[in-house]
Amino acid sequence: MSSLRENALSQVNTYRTETFEWNGKVYEVRQLGVGERGELMRKVSLKGRTEEEMMQHIDATEMQIWSVIYCVFDPETGERVFEEDDYEALLAMPSGGFVDLAAKVAGNLMNVKPEEDAKNSDGGQEEEI
């Protein structure tokens, strides 16, 4: 194995985390691995396009909801706080509240800013990344 390959593949899988407080409770937001991030991006990409176009156009609302589902953990148990079945409940929450805050923190860790995407997109539905 070349020294460069060995160096890259020997990296300890250390993921960044951030915490935030909501209604007196602490939530942990974790950086995703490459595979999970790809899975999330496929969920939020606007459909009906070529594969290349799908990865360049995202639905900002979907990005917010799915990043909360994928990235928010209970810091005490290490378990995800939300499941895919919570999608509709999260979608129904008020804007400017929990979902927006958690998605902003998750976006920082994924180098994606869903709230900026929503402001900059055509009709708040898609944004090139």
Q: Tokens 């995202």 sit at which residue?
A: 58
The tokens 């991030």 sit on which residue? Answer: 37
Q: Tens digits of per-residue pLDDT, 64-90?
A: 999 999 999 999 999 999 999 999 999
Q: Half-sphere exposure of residue 8, counting CA atoms within 13 Å on the CB side?
A: 4
Domain hosting residue 52, numbered range: 13-128
Confidence band (pLDDT; 50, 70, 90) for 126? very low
Residue 7 lies in a domain: no
Q: What local confidence, expressed as pLDDT, does residue 73 receive? A: 97
What pLDDT score does 118 carry? 45
Per DSSP, which regions of 24-128 are E strands? 25-30, 57-58, 72-73, 127-128
Residue 127 pLDDT exceeds 50? no
Please indicate, yes or no, if residue 3 is contained in any of the structural domains. no
Q: Is the pLDDT of residue 46 over 60?
A: yes
CATH number of the domain where residue 62 is located? 3.30.2220.20
Backbone angles phi, psi at 90, to 5 degrees: -65, -40
Residues with Cβ within 8 Å of residue 127, at least 6 apart in sequence:
57, 58, 60, 117, 118, 120, 121
At residue 55, the pLDDT reads 59
* Number of domain units in the chain: 1
pLDDT surpassing 70 at residue 125: no
Cα–Cα dist 34/46, whole Å: 20
Report pTM. Answer: 0.75
